[in-house]
Every structure is written in structure tokens, then in C-alpha cells.
Amino acid sequence: MSLLSRHRRARWAAITAVAAAAGVACASAVSAAPATPAAADRAAKHAPVIKHTGKAPTGYEVTFELYAPDAERVQIKGEWYFARPSELDPYAGTPEDPVVESPGIMPADWQAGDFPLASPNSTNPNWPVVDMVERGNSGVWTYTTPLPGGTFTYAYYVDCETADQSGCTPVADPSNLAWNVGDDGESAGSVVPNSQIYVPADADFDPSDTSWQEPVADGGTLELVTYDSPGHVSPVDENYMVVYTPPGYDAGRAEPYPTLYLSHGGGEDALGWSTQGALAPIMDNLIMSGEVQPMVVVMPNGNGYPASTENEAFRTDLIGTVFPYMEAHYNVSTEAADRAFSGLSAGGMRTNQLMLYNTDAFDYYGMMSAGMPPGTTLSDQQIADLQEASIFVGGGWQDVIHAVGFSIGTRQLHTGPLNEVRLLTDAGIHVSTDFVNGGHNWSVWRTLLRDFTTRVAFLPPTSAPPTS
């Protein structure tokens, strides 16, 4: 078994000092990631610069730079299409009209209350792609845009020849490396081909409070753990997970820590939440402000298991292998009352599967942006068990899966969160619901993570089970 631990807070503080937030990944074979100290120094000079302008529309603007001297064209793709609630019709998806049309408002036209929403609105990250401009013949390509408060994902395309970027590989910002990428460009575990920035909010233009996402200089620690996983297919007989330990984590504390298990979505892996999800700064802020108690967060890899009914292979490995590993290597509780499970999209489906078939493993379940399989019926025993659990169901009002679920071809994988709430409540099971403006995207899931941990996980039940 192997362990990688990297504490990137010093780098995050340094980037924030020049007004850019900690980032996510450096990317693929075509990435501009630095491979030498000289290249690393050059990349650092081109970190994103966040400037407080005090001017409309947002009070802040961000300048992105990429050093690509051999490129003929460089483009940037950013998580900054927006929608305006007052102009949406319908406001939320319905079975008759499931897709809320997204206007694709650009940052220059942003107004207070606007929220990120892909255009066209779908489960795909359909964000704007615009050309960057080379600064003279310096090989430095730049793009400046206003942005409101919050965390934003972005990536570069270098010499992409297709209008829709099909067949082109996005490149992460080499000045904004993931926590699991070293200064030499070498990585442990997977990397995602994008980066993140955090932008503060100017209250004169943007009344929203996004400070709970802001990088913290002395926060917790992220570790990439590889563990023995007999029967796992890829990698063979082993698997990996990311573990977050809170600020001031004490391996000898008399009271063991509660544990939140947090699952990624489709097309992602164990690194998703700690990169695009901004897990560490969110948890750091919530813990350091006293809004949640210190906890350990485990982000397992849900991929690479043999085919099984209702994800049984994943569930068996999680309970039979990951639980004992965590209890042997970290100061975490062995009680279900101190364990919570949550996940987004495909991770929301895993949440439901654990909730239905391993109800006694966790006392708290947080389902994000998914739903139950079509035709799901609950047995009397499942109903009785779920009445004892604390259940959270959330998603984006404008998510295309909100009212009708998600299908691949003619196969419907789930019926959506709206129908899940109805199924559970019709059975007499109390559900804490949390629907926010947004689609099938990270701005929603970061918010739901905050809300699940502050409103449901490790808190007393908000309703009593029915008496017999």
C-alpha cells in the first residue's frame, strides 16, 4: 500500500497573493506543464491575476495568461455562461418541459442574481470558448474578463482546428497546478485537464457570499492513498482514494473523527471533488468558522470494478475493505452514527444504492443530482430502515435531469431527484430537500456539499420516525 501526501497551502497562499486561487490540474501529454525549474519559473510568472476594479458589472476582472510561443492559436474555455432567474420560462424543468433553455449570458453582461448555467443546457460542460490574444510576439497569450464571486473552472486549447473543439485535448494552466502535481510536473494519480480560480465578491455589485470557497493558508491536508482491493479490475487488485484530514487533525485524539464519504460523478474519479469540487477550501472554511465539526473526508474511486448488480462490487469493497483501512490508518469512528455518504450524479446513484441495500452502514445520506432507477419499489423493511436515517436530496432547479432523470440511448438510468423526493415522502420517509439555481455543474455541487454538511450530516434528525 502506498500513500502520497502533499500540503499545497503554501502554493495556494502565494498564488492568492497575486490574486489567483489554488488550482486543479495540469493535464495530458499535450499539456504545457513545466518539466524543468526554468519552465516552472516561467509558468509562475503567468499565473492568473485577479484585479479589484470596483467597476461594473462585477467589481473584479481576471486576466489569464499562457506561455505558448509555438502556438498559432490559443483559446480558453471557462465555466462562465450565466442565466438570469427572472427571464427563465419555465423556471425549473418539468416532465412536460424538462429542458430549461439557457441564454448563455457572458460575464460582460452579468447582473446580480445571475448564476452559472451551460449553454446549450445539458449534462455536458457546454461553456464558452473564446480566442486569446498574443501579446506582441512574446509567445504569451492573454484573455481578460470580469467575473462575479465564486470558484470557476477553466482550460486552454492550443491550435485546435475544429470549431466545436471535438478531438482536441484541453490543457490545464501550468501556473495553476493540482495539489497532486509536483513542481517538476510529475503527478501521483490522475490529473484533470482544467484548473480552478477563486474570485472574491464585491458587495457593491455582487451581494452573494462565496467566502466559504476561498482558499485557506493553514487548512487541512489532502492525501492520495493506494490500497489493496482484491477483485478490482483497473488497476488490478488495488484501488485508490483521496483522504482529507481537517485543520489540526490529531491522530491521538480521544474522540475519533466522523467520516464523510464523498463520491464523484461519471467521467471522473477520486480526484474530482478535491480538484473541481474545491473540497479542501470548502471544508477548511466550514470547520474553521465552526459551522461544522472537524471531520475526515474520504473520496473513493468508483471506477474499475467488475460488473455487478446495483454496484454491489463497489459497495462490498467500500464496506469490507475501505472501512477497515480507514479505521486502521486514521483516527475515525467505527460507528454508523459517525459516517455519512454523499455523491453527485453517478455518485448520487451510488448514494441511493448504499441507502437502499446497506442502510445500516451510514446514518446520513446526501444524494446530489440523480434519482432512483425506474420502477423502484421500497420494501417494508427498507422503509422502516430509511425512516431511521437522515436523508438529503438536492440538485439544480434547471438541471435537465431534475424532473425526468437520465438516459443513455433507450436505457433510463434514473428518474431524477424530483421523483426520488416523491417516492420517499410517499412512503412516509422524511427527506431534507435542497434545490438551488443551476444545472448539472460544479457550482451546484459545491453549494450542495456546504448545505449537506451544515444542515444534515452528523446533526440530530429533523423529524421523528412514525410511531407504530
Q: Which of 200, 231, 254 is the last residue of a domain?
A: 200
Q: State residue 7's pLDDT score.
A: 44
- Whether residue 95 lies inside any domain: the answer is no
User: Both 326 and 417 in a single domain?
Assistant: yes
**pLDDT digits 0-9 by tens, 137-157:** 999 999 999 999 999 999 999
- Whether residue 205 lies inside any domain: the answer is no
- What domain range is 440 assigned to? 221-455
User: Both 442 and 354 in a single domain?
Assistant: yes
- Whether residue 463 lies inside any domain: the answer is no
Task: Report which of residues 25 and 453 the model is more confident about.
Answer: 453
Whole-model pTM?
0.92
Domain of 24: which CATH number?
2.60.40.10
User: Both 234 and 156 in a single domain?
Assistant: no
User: Both 433 and 319 in a single domain?
Assistant: yes
User: Both 193 and 237 in a single domain?
Assistant: no
Q: State residue 34's pLDDT score.
A: 39
**pLDDT digits 0-9 by tens, 319-336:** 999 999 999 999 999 999
Q: State residue 229's pLDDT score.
A: 98
User: Both 191 and 229 in a single domain?
Assistant: no
- Whether residue 381 lies inside any domain: the answer is yes
**pLDDT digits 0-9 by tens, 10-57:** 333 333 333 333 332 222 222 233 344 555 566 678 999 999 999 999
User: Both 163 and 281 in a single domain?
Assistant: no
Q: State residue 33's pLDDT score.
A: 35
- Whether residue 266 lies inside any domain: the answer is yes
Domain of 377: which CATH number?
3.40.50.1820
Q: State residue 187's pLDDT score.
A: 77
DSSP state of 122: S
User: Both 148 and 226 in a single domain?
Assistant: no
Listing DSSP states for 381-418 in one string gives: HHHHHHTTSEEEEEEETT-TTTTT-EEETTEEEE--HH
Between CA 175 and CA 340 the distance in angstroms is 35
User: Both 187 and 135 in a single domain?
Assistant: yes
User: Both 190 and 247 in a single domain?
Assistant: no
Between CA 421 and CA 460 the distance in angstroms is 20
Torsions phi, psi for 325 (to 5 deg): -60, -50
Mean pLDDT value across residues 229-240: 97
User: Both 137 and 229 in a single domain?
Assistant: no
Number of domains observed in the structure of the chain:
2
Of 125, 437, 465, nearest to 266 by C-alpha is: 125
Between CA 371 and CA 135 the distance in angstroms is 48
Q: State residue 41's pLDDT score.
A: 66
Task: Return the number of other C-beta atoms located less than 10 Å from residue 377's C-beta.
Answer: 8
Q: State residue 262's pLDDT score.
A: 98
User: Both 385 and 263 in a single domain?
Assistant: yes
Kindly state the helix (H) or strand (E) to which residue 77 belongs, with its residue range.
Answer: strand 74-78
Of 284, 424, 304, 288, nearest to 365 by C-alpha is: 424
Between CA 419 and CA 371 the distance in angstroms is 7
Of 213, 182, 179, 220, nearest to 198 by C-alpha is: 213
Mean pLDDT value across residues 329-353: 98
Q: State residue 395's pLDDT score.
A: 98
